[in-house]
């Protein structure tokens, strides 16, 4: 059992920063943007004390390219930003993918589109899971639902990035970034270091030169790099999918929710259960790869699904794809920085229960 003294009270953004340091990251580049600036502020304080490098870049574009530079040398490196800043990093994300470079990129989402607002949102789901930039590529997308998970998934994110030579995106939201919770940092487990013979660290005149590059003018060669990358993605889909199930064993209704939406949904589920409504939840922890298996299984079990999101309905598409539309899926959402209340989610559950005749 963990005693209270093993835990420290931290903001989500600070937990990311400290976990990154624990994971061996010594290079951070970023540009100020609310609501993730605490990550930069924490790094600015800590990095000089431990021989690391914090550098405030002139733009998000420069920051992601500094990340590209460090990643080319094989060292662990990260940047963090929030929605509008992530759009600017899109070019760099595509180049990181094309050059097969590992990095951790944090998006503490805020409402959009455009300058939007500074309150929490999940409306960058498509951007993270579908199109972080131009070209065919994926990022591993991790969605924490507690400050503890902010720390754990940061460490996991670095390990996965190194293992598969690609970007991991930690997709949090303003609530996760700003809320304070106890964190057990001593429980974090860092994976074994990965060999990086491809890194550009100088030939020392002992080997042929390494080239970090995403340009392939020969279409057949470029096609091959895409095929190889997607073979790797398949391995990730098979081995790295993460999710949590809550009260799904006897559920007639399944909620799909991640991050803060899952926290709110849990309260609503507990209330609904008091009324005898058999409702459970599947909480994707990896948004890509999306946990298709539990949703496919649930499609043969439940009579209705509800996707609870802080967006106009983005993850709901993955839920429908995973369930092959076998059960009706409704959307329960708020946007623009608003968060669905437990009462709103409960109302959605009751509506679904009434439709399937499930309130018994």
Partner 1 sequence: MVVFDKPHALTDAPMHYCPGCTHGIVHRLVAEVIDELGIEGKTIGVAPVGCSVMAYNYFACDMIEAAHGRAPAVATGVKRADPENHVVFTYQGDGDLASIGMAETVHAAARNENITVIFINNAIYGMTGGQMAPTSLPGQVTQTSPYGRDTNHCGFPIKVCELLSELDGPEYLTRVTVNSVKNIKTAKAAIKKAFQNQIDGKGFSLVEVLSSCPTNWGMTPQKALEWIDEKMIPYYPLGVYKDRSAAKEETK
Q: How far is the CB of 135 from partner 1 (least distance, A)?
A: 12
Pick from 34, 91, 182, 240 the residue near partner 1 by CB under 8 A. Answer: 91
Q: How far is the CB of 263 from partner 1 (least distance, A)?
A: 36
Q: Which stretch binds partner 1 (CB under 8 A): 90-98, 262-270, 306-314, 346-354?
A: 90-98
Q: Does 246 bind partner 1 (CB under 8 A)?
A: no
Pick from 45, 59, 115, 223 the residue near partner 1 by CB under 8 A. Answer: 59
Q: Does 203 bind partner 1 (CB under 8 A)?
A: yes
Q: What angle do CA 237, 321, 86 make, to 5 degrees?
A: 65
Q: Does 235 bind partner 1 (CB under 8 A)?
A: no
Give 45's Cβ-side CA count (13 Å radius): 8
Residue closer to partner 1, measured from CB, 28 or 233: 28
Q: How far apart are CA 286 and CA 306, in angstroms?
A: 19
Q: Does 311 bind partner 1 (CB under 8 A)?
A: no
Structure tokens at 94: 């595509």
Q: How far is the CB of 212 from partner 1 (least distance, A)?
A: 4
Residue closer to partner 1, measured from CB, 197 or 357: 197
Q: For tokens 């502020």, what's the residue? A: 41
* Alpha-helix residue ranges (DSSP H) falling in 324-360: 342-356
Q: Does 209 bind partner 1 (CB under 8 A)?
A: yes
Q: Binders of partner 1 among 17-56, rule CB under 8 A?
A: 27, 29, 53, 55
Q: Which of 49, 47, 10 is nearest to 28 (CA)?
A: 47
Q: What's phi and psi for 113, nearest 5 deg?
A: -80, -175
Q: Does 78 bind partner 1 (CB under 8 A)?
A: no
DSSP code of residue 77: E
Q: Does 222 bind partner 1 (CB under 8 A)?
A: no
Q: Does 99 bind partner 1 (CB under 8 A)?
A: yes
User: CA separation (Å) from 139 to 85, 133, 294, 305?
Assistant: 17, 10, 21, 27
Q: Does 87 bind partner 1 (CB under 8 A)?
A: no
Pick from 49, 50, 195, 204 the residue near partner 1 by CB under 8 A. Answer: 204
Q: Which of 288, 26, 27 is nearest to 170 (CA)?
A: 288
Pick from 10, 70, 272, 279 the residue near partner 1 by CB under 8 A. Answer: 70
Q: How far apart are CA 218 and CA 68, in angstroms?
A: 24
Q: How far is the CB of 96 from partner 1 (least distance, A)?
A: 10
Number of residues that bind partner 1 (CB under 8 A): 39
Q: How far apart are the first and last CA of the chain?
A: 38
Give 147's Cβ-side CA count (13 Å radius): 21
Q: How far is the CB of 270 from partner 1 (least distance, A)?
A: 47
Q: Which of 322, 328, 333 is nearest to 289 (CA)?
A: 322
Enumerate binding residues for partner 1 (CB under 8 A).
27, 29, 53, 55, 57-59, 61-63, 65-73, 75, 77, 91-92, 95, 99, 200-206, 209-215
């Amino acid at each position: 059992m963990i005693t209270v003294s093993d835990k420290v009270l931290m903001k989500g953004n600070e937990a990311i920063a400290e976990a990154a340091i624990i994971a061996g990251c010594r290079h951070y580049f970023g540009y100020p943007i609310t609501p993730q600036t605490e990550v930069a502020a924490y790094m600015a304080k800590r990095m000089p004390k431990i021989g690391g490098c914090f550098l405030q870049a002139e733009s998000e574009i420069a920051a992601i390219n500094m990340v590209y530079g460090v990643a080319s040398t094989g060292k662990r490196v990260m940047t963090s930003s929030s929605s509008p800043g992530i759009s600017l990093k899109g070019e760099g994300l595509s180049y990181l993918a094309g050059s097969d470079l590992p990095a951790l990129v944090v998006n503490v989402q805020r409402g959009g589109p455009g300058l939007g607002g500074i309150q929490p949102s999940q409306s960058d789901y498509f951007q993270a899971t579908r199109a972080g930039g131009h070209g065919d590529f994926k990022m591993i997308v991790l969605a924490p639902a507690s400050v503890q998970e902010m720390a754990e998934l940061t460490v996991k994110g670095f390990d996965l990035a190194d293992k598969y030579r690609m970007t991991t995106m930690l997709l949090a939201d303003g609530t996760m970034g700003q809320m304070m919770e106890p964190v057990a940092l001593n429980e974090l487990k860092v994976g074994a270091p990965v060999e990086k013979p491809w890194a550009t660290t100088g030939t020392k005149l002992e080997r042929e030169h390494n080239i970090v590059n995403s340009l392939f003018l020969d279409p057949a060669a470029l096609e091959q790099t895409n095929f190889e990358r997607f073979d790797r993605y398949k391995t990730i889909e098979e081995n790295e999918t993460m999710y949590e199930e809550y009260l799904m064993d006897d559920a007639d209704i399944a909620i799909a929710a991640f991050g803060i939406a899952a926290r709110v949904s849990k309260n609503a589920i507990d209330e609904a259960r008091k009324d005898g409504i058999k409702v459970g939840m599947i909480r994707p922890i990896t948004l890509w790869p999306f946990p298709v298996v539990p949703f496919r299984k649930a499609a043969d079990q439940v009579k209705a699904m509800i996707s609870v999101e802080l967006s106009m309905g983005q993850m709901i598409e993955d839920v429908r794809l995973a369930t092959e539309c076998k059960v009706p899926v409704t959307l329960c959402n708020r946007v623009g920085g608003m968060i669905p209340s437990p009462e709103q989610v409960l109302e959605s559950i009751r509506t679904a229960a009434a439709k399937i005749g499930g309130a018994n």
